[in-house]
Amino acid sequence: MVDGQVFTTEIDNDGIAWVTLDVPGETHNVLRREHLAEADALLDRLERHAGLKGVVLRSGKPDSFVAGADIEMLDRCTHAADAAALARAGQAFCDRLERLAVPTVAAIHGVCLGGGLEIALACRYRICTEEAVTRLGLPEVRIGVLPASGGTQRLSRLIGARTALDLMLTGRRISGEQALALGVVDACVPAANLSAAALRWTARGNRPPRPWRWRIASWLLEGNAIGRTVLFHEVRRRSWHKTYGNYPATEAIIHCVETGCAEGRAAGMKAEVEAFGLLVVTPEAQELRFLYFASTAMKKERVADASPRPLERVGVIGAGLMGAGIAAVTIDHAGLPARVRDPSAEALARASRHVVRYLDDRARRGSLLPIQVEQARRRLTLTTEFNGFKQVDLTVEAVFEDLELKRAVLAEYQDQAREGAIFASNTSSLPIASIAEGARDPASVIGMHYFSPVEKMHLVEIIPHPGTAPEVTATAAELARAQGKTPVLVADRPGFFVNRILAPYLNEAGRMVMDGFPLDEVDRVLKRFGFPLGPFELLDRVGIAVATKVQPILQEAFGERMASSGLLERMLESGPGKFYHRAAGGHRTPDPAVYASLNVQPVRSGASPEEIVDRVLLPLLNEAAHCLHEGIIRSPRDGDVAAVFGIGFPPFRGGPFRYMDRRGVSEVAQALRRHTKTFGARYQPAPPLAADPPSPFYPRSESTTEGDKG
């Protein structure tokens, strides 16, 4: 046996080298620059070993093969050349691994992502387990870069360019069974059989040739100029439709795969190194890395000076879409029993069907095994009364946004629940102190604001009121983390943070339509800026009735800044109910009835995209600065993560505070003053922006600068 700090090698009597990768002090194996010397020494030994018959590469971690490269390495690259050197080193190691004269087998159990999958692709064979914990993927695009150890070339040659591009451009993770179906792995076995299966595959010798049907299909798509032109044109068209060119990594991935198909692997590898070097130092990649580090830290940080209480059972009051979603992530991600209470048996039946569809979809995508689906279903129970709530530790209330209704539900709950049981209101705007007023145990009352759809949105606002016990705050945050969410602590004022910054954004978009701007023009410009939905698409998703319920609460609290445009009220009174309708062929187009109900004739504005963006976006930025000044959020970092995860603020821009810093805080303040002269006091700069001169929200030592791209 040869022991190293990271790699341990044992060669058995049959000449098979069992190489175990185990990074000390880490839950997951994470690749770092300093591991390369030891990895090269390992290959030196294997290349020199005369009696070697095969190599099995496995992990010493219980549920992780290799989680990828250490992202902090990228933050330390101040020049494109630094990042390119990392890519060359990764390619060199994988090339040497690939050239070993004996069969090499990657035995994969647990996460196998990024550089981990690239190492596995350099092996002759790949065997993985069928357990749900096993997930494979190349998610580099999500931090603004691309696979740079040969991944763009090896994966596209292994499974075809079209399928490989789909995996790399989405960054999605696939299960072991999906990887087998796509041809990423050669076998998918139970975890107990992994070592035995890997040993058998070391005797396979060279890979057999591809079936002739696969070779013909590959030639038609990628092996000739006409097929390549059609394929990559279509891939670029779809990519542009999703990203509007805002993510440089997507075009770089397409370019590398196309180069490899047209000019050969060496050219593709060279393109990969060059693109990686340039991407690492782009502003987009820097902001995506910031979000990764920030959200990771927030999932671990304490939000109160207390330890969370143990959680064994969770209750949910209200069986609408929000309640059903909260129950779904509780029984699935948190693995806790959820008891849903609603006086309507029909509502409970709908909620049950919603949860079942969610679990079945997770199983179809390979995220859950059938037995795990059945176990999760058994954790869901339904009731029209409060029976069973004596055993519940924390209950999330998800009823309609009405103060008196929420107070009544709280009073009834505390009469039925055990002493000290936590009551968390999923309110989007109502002050938690107002809900807790008159409660028998106000210290056990807190806000947990989830976002719709709960199953997909990653944020939960944790809102203690002044009387909330610290351990209640800690417990609510712990539940959010267990449910797979990022908790952000916010102060108890109307709208909290996310809805408070969203309201003036939507209001100003409404004023623009009242001024004659076509609503689809406003939506299109904001989507090209980077929002996943335009403001009117978002309103259609949220519902006009819900939005109008929140509006007066915010206007009463904050005055003219939150004054309604009048659009939603008129839509609710006489409008069609939505801004868009389905036209022939399924395309969504603005409903002409919207303009008729508003008595507005839309005319293409002639305004530049920058002018449209600023008119709608500046109120959001300004309100974020107000929230920071008032202590609604703890830091700009918390506000940035909340805005990205809560309303889809463009991730590649980092969040409202990062965006203002990069644009220039003084320039944002000047733009607000110009708009104040044109549109009124609602644009008056918030105190942090009214300073002379205003300071950046992130000190330079905390902020990622652009660096040298040469």
486-489: strand order across its sheet: 380-383, 338-341, 314-317, 394-397, 422-425, 445-450, 459-464, 486-489
Mean pLDDT (whole number) for 603-610: 87
Please state, rounded to an integer, the average pLDDT across all residues of the chain: 93
Q: What is the CATH number of the domain that holds 439?
A: 3.40.50.720
- The pLDDT tens digits of the residues spanning 25-61 come to 888 999 998 999 999 999 999 999 989 999 999 999 9
Residues 134 and 25 in one domain: yes
Going by C-alpha positions, the residue among 313, 331, 314, 252 that lies closest to residue 284 is: 252
Place 214 in a pLDDT band, splitting at 50, 70 and 90. low
Mean pLDDT (whole number) for 383-389: 94
Half-sphere exposure (Cβ direction) of 583: Cα atoms closer than 13 Å = 8
Residues 442 and 400 in one domain: yes
Residues 529 and 616 in one domain: yes
Mean pLDDT (whole number) for 477-501: 96
Place 708 in a pLDDT band, splitting at 50, 70 and 90. very low
Mean pLDDT (whole number) for 345-360: 97
Sole residue written with tokens 């304490």: 302
Neighbours of 165 (CB within 10 A): 23
Lowest mean pLDDT among 32-41, 394-403, 573-582, 693-702: 693-702
- The pLDDT tens digits of the residues spanning 59-116 come to 999 989 999 999 999 999 999 999 999 999 999 999 999 999 999 999 999 999 999 9
Answer yes or no: is 683 within a domain. yes
Mean pLDDT (whole number) for 198-226: 75
Cα–chain-centroid distance for residue 294?
Answer: 13
Does residue 2 have a pLDDT over 80?
Answer: no
Residues 159 and 18 in one domain: yes
Place 434 in a pLDDT band, splitting at 50, 70 and 90. very high
Does residue 221 have a pLDDT over 80?
Answer: no
Going by C-alpha positions, the residue among 361, 178, 157 that lies closest to residue 260 is: 157
Q: Report the first-to-last Cα separation within the chain, whole angstroms.
A: 45
Q: What is the CATH number of the domain that holds 654?
A: 1.10.1040.50
Mean pLDDT (whole number) for 120-134: 96
Burial 696-707 (b: 16+ CB within 10 A, else e): bbbeeeebbeeb
Answer yes or no: is 291 within a domain. no
Rounded CA separation 127/181 (Å): 13
Does residue 213 have a pLDDT over 80?
Answer: no
- Domain total of the chain: 3
Residues 457 and 560 in one domain: no
Going by C-alpha positions, the residue among 666, 682, 551, 698 that lies closest to residue 622 is: 682
Does residue 707 have a pLDDT over 60?
Answer: no
Does residue 209 have a pLDDT over 90?
Answer: no
Mean pLDDT (whole number) for 308-335: 97
- Which domain does 13 fall in, by range? 2-281
Q: Which residue has the higher pLDDT, 706 or 23?
A: 23
Residues 182 and 260 in one domain: yes
Residues 60 and 172 in one domain: yes
- The pLDDT tens digits of the residues spanning 542-555 come to 888 888 888 888 99
Answer yes or no: is 287 within a domain. no
Query: Are the CB atoms for 448 and 569 separated by under 8 Å?
Result: no
Which run of H or of E encompasses 383?
A: strand 380-383
Per DSSP, 114 falls in state T
Secondary structure in 3-state letters for 170-213: HCCCEEHHHHHHHCCCCEEECHHHHHHHHHHHCCCCCCCCCCHH
* Residue 537 to residues 243, 521, 590, Cα–Cα distance (Å): 17, 12, 10
Residues 531 and 593 in one domain: yes
Q: What is the CATH number of the domain that holds 108?
A: 3.90.226.10
**3-state class (DSSP) for residue 434:** helix
Write down which residue in 470, 489, 508 finishes a domain: 489
Per DSSP, 633 falls in state B
Q: What is the pTM of this model?
A: 0.93
Q: Which segments of 584-700 are extended strands (E)?
A: 588-590
Residues 614 and 657 in one domain: yes
Place 133 in a pLDDT band, splitting at 50, 70 and 90. very high
Does residue 706 have a pLDDT over 60?
Answer: no
Answer yes or no: is 309 within a domain. no
Does residue 210 have a pLDDT over 70?
Answer: no
Write down which residue in 462, 489, 516 finishes a domain: 489
Q: What's at 440, amino acid-wise?
A: R
Residues 90 and 171 in one domain: yes
pLDDT at 1: 59
Rounded CA separation 672/460 (Å): 30
Write down which residue in 446, 462, 489 finishes a domain: 489
Residue 648 backbone zone (phi > 0: left; psi -120 to 50: alpha; other: beta): left
φ, ψ for residue 128 (rounded to 5)?
-130, 170
- The pLDDT tens digits of the residues spanning 556-599 come to 999 989 999 989 888 888 888 899 987 766 788 999 899 998 88
Extract the tokens encoding 435.
């809900």
Answer yes or no: is 288 within a domain. no
**3-state class (DSSP) for residue 139:** coil
Does residue 705 have a pLDDT over 90?
Answer: no
Cis peptide before 685 (omega within 30 of 0): no
- Residue 396 forms beta bridges with which residues? 316, 424
Answer yes or no: is 458 within a domain. yes
Answer yes or no: is 158 within a domain. yes
pLDDT at 211: 67
Answer yes or no: is 603 within a domain. yes
Mean pLDDT (whole number) for 511-515: 94
Residues 8 and 55 in one domain: yes
Q: Which segments of 192-294 are extended strands (E)?
A: none
Rounded CA separation 223/213 (Å): 14
Mean pLDDT (whole number) for 407-429: 94
User: Active-site residues: which are they?
Assistant: 461
Residues 244 and 338 in one domain: no
